[in-house]
Amino acid sequence: MTDRQTVMELRPGTTPPSEMDSDAAAGELAALAAAIAWHDERYHGEDDPAISDSDYDALVARNRDLEAAFPDLVRDDSPSRRVGAPAAAGFGKVRHTRPMLSLNNGFSDEDIADFVTRVKRFLSLADDAPLGFTAEPKIDGLSLSLRYEEGRFVQAATRGDGTEGEDVTANVRMVDAVPARLAGTPPSILEVRGELYMDRADFLALNMAQQDSGGKIFANPRNAAAGSLRQKDPAVTASRRLQFFAYSLGEVSAPLADTHMLSLEALSDMGFSINPLSRRCDEVADLLAVYGEIGAARADLGYDIDGVVYKVDRHDYQARLGQVARAPRWALAHKFPAEQAETLLNAIDIQVGRTGALTPVARLAPVTVGGVVVSNATLHNEDEIRRKDIRVGDRVVIQRAGDVIPQVVRVIPEARPAESTEFVFPETCPECGAPANRPEGEAVRRCTNSLECPAQRLEWLKHFVSRDAFDIEGLGARQIDQFVELGWVRRPADIFRLAARRTEMAELDGYGDVSIGNLLAAIEARREIGFERFIFALGIRQIGQATARILALHFTRPEEMLAALSPPADLETTTAELVAIDQIGEAMVADLIGFFAGDSNRAAVEDLLAQLSVVPPERPAEDSAVSGKTIVFTGTLAGMSRAEAKARAESLGAKVSGSVSAKTNYLVAGADAGSKARKATELGVTVLNEDEWLAMISGDGPG
């Protein structure tokens, strides 16, 4: 059954599996395994398919139907087991050619009106100027990027941190909703972004099957979709019914259309599912009307959505608008109101976080909210407890904010027990007993014991290995808990010394030679790390990913950062330099300096640096005339808005500051320039008018 002519001409049998005996089924499964393997080699190995996609799909479908009817006859060389390569140590990494951005959120009609106003202001459009948008349901699933070359599917990656995701190609090949080959004449390179999701009916069926087999019960369809995709064995993914809606583009070798809506229509023609509720809108009122229509239909859709996404329709406008931090300026997610439920508050516990914050958590009688069982909810801080007069024993109304984080909305006073008493917030850390101070003007009380507090140290280490920080495969919160309890890890640098614990690790439950080898290899792979990830991983209060990137570009090397922020450095000068950088404020700088003021913190960072090679950040547009220069804009520009000018300068590698200093290289002065222009002249800073600035960045002006 393996000669070329036989496998090429094989067609799926027509006898229903229910009418076949085991011998006949086994014979056909053997024939199908050989034929599909041969066609896979022709398609993937030789790029010379011998049959059409539909004929190939029919063979695969027949194989799947027979295996479902005769599970005992599933072969070791079955196509359902063979397609793709199971990742023994998790998934490899894929660097996105274009970042996969997240979305900023809006929750009210005013937020949407403000969004439209901001866009028009950025583009220097009049308030009454036409500006088209699309409105699309926001699917509650897993974001994917699919890459096609010459119309053939070649790679799939998750969003990850927006820059680097997981390679899930083998598993996505098993998803029927993702086209293996595109119809028509697509560009030679086409990246399609979209959402992988699971219908509610399929989710319920999966959980019933999982319960019957003693498997994991998923909390909601999104978790089920993500869990189904992230399987080491692609055959498991194939057994789950996953769907895919395309909603945007990544890298393309040639544009599909001038607008987003027309691009969606082109993707539909190629074979992708496009959400049928997507609409084009012209005014804020149109956007809100679509939001209302989709919200009203939400319960009957059959799949979960948590809002509506608005996007500027024109691609040239999208390009001009660009992004801020990790979200595009040209899109906004309008989230639905959270669902609510009533339950009993059994206790209030205090958790100590990475930055020492004491956070009150409500322990609740379990209740279902929006399809998820909730037993804990945040109470935010002591002022929130006092303002809402929340007490143990109260009946409370809870909701999931943004359909994610449970929180207590209010108490039900008439149901309060007669013996209830006010909750007294602790003034000492419940983990280490150190004083918990509340700085003036802040709502949060913090443990003063820094990283000597075991709770802070533990959360710090968990943050250090998290996905957006060092992202060490196989080293998560559970492993950190275990290694800290054993005394193996007290500082981040200890993670890179775990190889010396290999013999001891082998004595732990769940650690075999292969898993230990994989973990240690993943740790070794992270001995080289980008500077911005390094800064973010330190877990310094107020220093998120966007700020870490700015600091990495400013300092370039960790040794320079340590020297500038640690005693006996001139901290007044350092503060002035950092505050002059756009998006960095005095409070951020104070937290930076405060972190490095601690002897134990500095020692931990120096110990870590001895284990690593930190890679300087890639600077954008190194060859531009303004790369590395500090620019200040003032006055009204005629050809673009100030926000657009700032974004353009940053894309060329410049640093944009809000104030003029001796370190300013250029002041770009528009109409009605005032005190900044006078100060620049006094300091000898080069002042450019708008035409001179545009000539410079186009390569025609002085560098």
Q: Which of 120, 138, 335, 679 is catalytic?
A: 138
Distance CA 632, CA 644 (A): 13
Domains, the chain, ordered by start: 4-82 (1.10.287.610), 105-335 (3.30.470.30), 340-437 (2.40.50.140), 449-526 (1.10.150.20), 530-615 (1.10.150.20), 630-697 (3.40.50.10190)
Q: Which helix (H) or strand (E) covers residue 131, if one does?
A: none
Work out the pLDDT band at 88, boundaries 50, 70, 90: very low
CB neighbourhood size of 216 (10 A):
12
Overall pTM surpassing 0.85 (yes/no)? no
Q: State the DSSP string of 409-478.
A: EEE-GGG--TT--PPPPPSB-TTT--BEE--TT-S--EETTGGGSHHHHHHHHHHHTSTTTT--TT--HH
Lowest mean pLDDT among 97-101, 230-234, 244-248, 329-333: 230-234
Average pLDDT on 379-384 reads 91
Give the pLDDT band (50/70/90) at residue 152.
very high
Query: 390 is written with which tokens?
Result: 């929340």
Tell me, yes or no, if 462 is annotated catalytic: no
**Amino acid making up residue 160:** G
pLDDT digits (tens, 9 = 90+) for 527-541: 999 999 999 999 998
Confidence of residue 40 (pLDDT cuts 50, 70, 90): low
User: What whole-number distance in Å separates Cα of residue 397 and Cα of residue 392?
Assistant: 14
What percentage of the chain exceeds 90 in pLDDT? 50
CA distance 145 to 98: 10
pLDDT tens-place string over residues 176-193 = 999 999 999 999 999 999
Enter the tokens of residue 561: 């950062």
Largest CA distance in the chain: 94
What is the arithmetic mean of pLDDT over 95-120? Answer: 92
Q: For residue 683, what is the enclosing H or E element? A: helix 675-683
Mean pLDDT of 677-700: 86
